[in-house]
Amino acid sequence: MTKAECKEVFALLSQYLDGELPEDVCEQMDRHIGDCPPCVEFLASLKKTAALCRQMEVEEKPPELAEEARASLVEAYRRFAD
């Protein structure tokens, strides 16, 4: 996998998770993610963050949780980008 491919996947991840992409694009992303450990890790981190956000109302989120989720995503992105 090349960094360019990973960046393309990264750019489409939100749409991918929301089911907004054409089936052929999803299949290409599935193949890439299945063979790319950094993308697997980043996708897992993004899914976890999204799930945490859905579980809590905006007013109920403690600042440290929001910061923890942000830090987790930033760290995963740094590993992804390297």
pLDDT mean values, one per 10 residues, the chain (82 residues): 85 88 94 91 86 68 70 77 66
Please give the pLDDT value at position 45: 87
Please give the pLDDT value at position 24: 95
Please give the pLDDT value at position 52: 78
Report the sign of the C-alpha dihedral through residues 70, 49, 12, 31, in that order.
positive
Answer yes or no: are the C-beta atoms of 5 and 79 closer than 8 Å: no
Please give the pLDDT value at position 74: 79
Please give the pLDDT value at position 62: 63
Tell if the pTM clears 0.75, that is, is over it: no
Please give the pLDDT value at position 59: 55
